[in-house]
Structure 1
Amino acid sequence: MSDNAEIRSRDVIKAIEGFEESISIISKNIYGQDCSISCNLKAPKEGSFELNYIFQFIGMTPMFAPVIEQLPDILSMLYDLFIKSEGKKVQKIEQNNNGSINLVGDGNTITINNYHHTYNIDNNTLKDTLNDDKLRESITKSHAPISNQSAEKVIYKNNKNKELSTITKNNYMAFNPLVETTAEDEKEMNLWVKSLSFDGKKWGFQDKSSEENFSAQIQDTGFQKTISEGESFKNGDSIIANVLIKYSDKKGKKNQYVITKVIEHIVAPTQPELTI
């Protein structure tokens, strides 16, 4: 409820859309099947609103009938994990002998003692769901009444009116999408020249040690000058160079290479002409 006992209609609409999108994503991630929702809106008292949802799998088969009742509880469990992990990226989930699980992040581990194993969600699926940015975006939308300061909290209950989760101004930011940041590393590498064709002003190379192919800009102006002045530079040549690699923290992949200094240019031997 807001201080002025008013909730903006556009925030209510966002909350409905966000919740429906969240349930659909969770259902697809965990059960591999989409879930449709019908919603009834009530205003039990001034300055508050109540949404009653009916869940149904699209094209539901009998084998999915029992598990649809678990969706509200699974949603509550996921919300609890989001909040306890403070919205940080989960790199892996470890199973403990006492039934608890560890959410392992970058430099931190959070132990969850009351994890519900009865949902039969494997750890990789759980990890991917917690890191799913589309899910985070939809949950964030469902909490628009809080983020836009037209409500103080959102309470989730099951069909028995049991309170499952409460989202407040203190914890709603735990559902925000992961922020993509990059880390940099510069190291000396031994590279084959694979392609002289420009790809956005980049050359094609292969790392001799890992055999990984990638494109990179050469920012060594001294080396660029020797090439422009006529020094041979062709496929099959190799270079020893300092390479700046920018890693994506969000995706865990290398996303940009820059050759900052060419230490040595090794010209590939030319095959002698055969004379008969």
Structure 2
Amino acid sequence: MSDVESEKTPGLSADEEKEISDNQPPRAAVLHETIRFQGDHELERTLGALWWSALAAGLTMGLSLMAMGLLYSRLPEGESAQVIASLGYSAGFLAVILARQQLFTENTITAVLPVMTTPTLANFGRLLRLWGVVLLGNLVGTLLVAWVMLELPIFDSKTDEAFLEVGRKVMENDISQMFAKGIISGWMIATMVWMIPSMESAKVWIIIMITYLMALGDFTHIVVGSAEVSYLVWAGEETWRNFLFTFALPTLAGNIIGGSCIFALISHAQVRSESGTPPEPPATQEKRRD
């Protein structure tokens, strides 16, 4: 008998003990296997399915820029405006994640865990294939939605100026800041992905909390930032060279390091340290219970 069992409160019925067991949060190994299982499914998807889902996600992420610009243009100037307008940053993430569209920074942990579990060349190749297609689709979508927001007569001049200000704020960072803030952003997105399976009923609040803090801290994100900075490029205030070398590449590297090399690696090491054998996939566990 273990120490935990010997210290149980006396007088509990079997039903009460089962209720206590059911109310325990899932172990890290269960979360790891749930996300790994999802990642393995994503790695198996066809190129066409990945491309269209990633393109849709890029278009949808334009909601973040749109919501922030609309809020900024209708709030009085001052620091308090950012506290409120940063809530708009969550709009794109909510829509993309709830619609189960392909977002690159989610895949810095979801698709990485299968590779860490079985580090073969074939799995690594599947990961690069997924990353390449999803990143390209996300960027094409964000560049397209930024062009549409600028060129079509949709918003008033005050809102258009607010969109420009959002992009200008991103480009105030130098290359090292883009990179460092991208690490924090990648780590925060990975944390969000890790939290959601254990608190599915609170998914919306988890997404809002994490992404709101990202906006409040001005952390750089390759997909949302692509919409913000490309808006400046389409408007003639920035060059594609600055978009690529000052913003995109440092931010992308930071997001990958924060999500894959730090969070995913540490989480994987934690689970492997607890047990030398990988946990069973959810489907296998369900069959065994039946």
Q: TM-score range by the shorter chain?
A: under 0.3
Which structure's relative contact order is higher, taking Cα pairs within 8 Å and 6+ residues apart? 2
Query: TM-score scaled by structure 1?
Result: 0.22
Larger Rg computed on CA atoms? 1
